[in-house]
Every structure is written in structure tokens, then in C-alpha cells.
Chain A
């Protein structure tokens, strides 16, 4: 049983890792739904995803760094609001349904996709 679980974790991890390295995201978009399919509750799935992202993003950032792609000044600029935001997000998650945020997030993503597709 633990071996079976490890194999499933490996499949989820490899998929999330490839997404992360390819698109510069954490891979949570892949991990959270798969962890829920494994039987994790939503809070546990999201929290486990975040902790896995620490390792995934660190490895991906390090390799991108070797290619010379990382802009440290811009990272420094965004890290403070990003960290402030995650504290807010986790606190809110303990209290509400995520429905309204999901909608706003979806609209923002649509705008981002349009911006990227239109040359």
C-alpha cells in the first residue's frame, strides 16, 4: 500500500514538475485535482500541493538560473506582495467557499490568455 501510494505521488510529482519547468508555475493546477482524486480533502490537497511546490519551484528556478533566465531584481520586487498575498489567501481559505475567487481568477486568466495570444 505505501509503495502504491509512492508510485501515485511520483506520477503526480513528475507531471507537476514538467508543468512547472515548462510554464514557470508551481504545478498546483495539476496536483490539487489529482490529490483530491486520491481522496485528499480540499484543504489537505491544497496545503500538500503548496508544500510540494516549495521543492518543485526551487529546483526549476535553480535550473533556469543556470540557463541565465532569472531576473533577480524583478523577483525581489514581486516577492513581498506575493508573500503577503499567500498569508491572506490561506487565512481566507479557512473561512469561506472559494467560489467568488474562482470566478475572478477565471476572468483574469481569460484576459491573460487574450493578451498572450494577440501578438
Chain B
């Protein structure tokens, strides 16, 4: 049952990733940590590996829809590398509990932002409003 829930979360994580342009890790990490018995650190590392093929396929689909200049994405990706190194090293240095609370904090911030957006008036650009 836990495996089924993990697979469903991964499916939903992928769909959210494609829809909102995120990696889906915000759902892959809990799928791994809560349902597959990973430590928080293992869940984060394994989530990143799942994200790679998922993001490749998502990018390929977006290219076909004409929404992306892949060179821009690759440029941002290459420029991100110093940040990646710092993030991974810090994650390995921090206590497990700090990672869990940090990830929970991140989840809450994202949730509040999405709730605000989801609960906003149906048309955020009223007719006649100056644009």
C-alpha cells in the first residue's frame, strides 16, 4: 500500500512539474521519506535522480509546444553549479532534523503562495483595469 501511494505521489509530482515548471521534488521527497523508508537525506538525493529524466521529457514536450529556448535553460543550469555544490555540501553537513524542518518550511511557504493564488478572484485582471 505504501508503494502504491509512493507511485501515485510520483505521478502527481510529475504532473505538477510539467504544469508548473518545477522538478516535482516537493512531492518526490515525501514519497521517498514517508512511504519508502528513506532518511530525509536519502530521499532528497534520490528525488534529484528521479527529477533528471522527468525534466528531460518535460523539456522535450515544451520544445514541441514552442515554449522554450533550450539554450537559455542550459545557460541557467550551467550558471547554477556553484549553488548546487554549496547546497549539497550543506545538506550533508546539517543534522537530519534541520533538513526535515527546512523542507517543511519550504513546503509551507509554497503552499501559502499557491493557496493565495488558488483562492484569488477568478479573473485577476478585471475588465477595464489599466494594464
Please give the residue numbers on chain A whose beta carbons come within 8 Å of chain B beta carbons, in ascending order.
6, 9-10, 12-29, 31-32, 43-61, 63-65, 67, 69-72, 74-75, 77-79, 81-94, 98-103, 105-110, 112-113, 115-117
Cβ-based interface call for B126 (8 A): no
Given known contacts A71-B46, A100-B118, A51 and B70 CB-to-CB distance under 8 angstroms: yes
Q: Does B49 reach chain A (CB closer than 8 Å)?
A: yes
Contact sample, A vs B, 19 pairs, CB 8 Å cutoff: A9-B75, A16-B80, A21-B87, A24-B48, A24-B103, A48-B69, A56-B80, A57-B48, A72-B46, A78-B6, A78-B46, A79-B10, A86-B14, A87-B57, A89-B17, A91-B61, A102-B118, A103-B119, A105-B20
Complex interface: chain A residues within 8 A of B100 (CB): 116-117
The answer to whether A21 and B18 have CB atoms under 8 Å apart is: no
Specify which chain A residues have a CB less than 8 angstroms from the CB of B12 in the assembled complex.
85, 108
Closest to A67 in B: B92
A residues within 8 A CB of B63?
A: 47
Report the minimum CB–CB distance from B120 to chain A (whole Å).
8
Q: Is the interface of B mostly helix, strand, loop or mixed?
A: helix
Asked if B17 contacts A109 (CB within 8 A), the reply is no
> Which B positions have Cβ atoms within 8 angstroms of A?
3, 6-8, 10-34, 36, 38, 41-59, 61-63, 65, 67-70, 72-92, 99-108, 110-115, 117-119, 122
Query: A69 to nearest B CB, angstroms?
Result: 3
Q: A118: nearest residue on chain B (CB-CB)?
A: B104
Bound: A73/B36 CA distance, A: 10
Which B residues are in CB contact (< 8 Å) with A82?
Answer: 10-11, 13-14, 17, 24, 28, 50-51, 53-54
Chain B: minimal CB distance from A74 (Å)? 5
Complex contact A115–B87 (CB within 8 A): no
Note all chain A residues with C-beta closer than 8 A to B101.
116-117
Give the residue name and chain of the A residue nearest to B114 (CB): A106
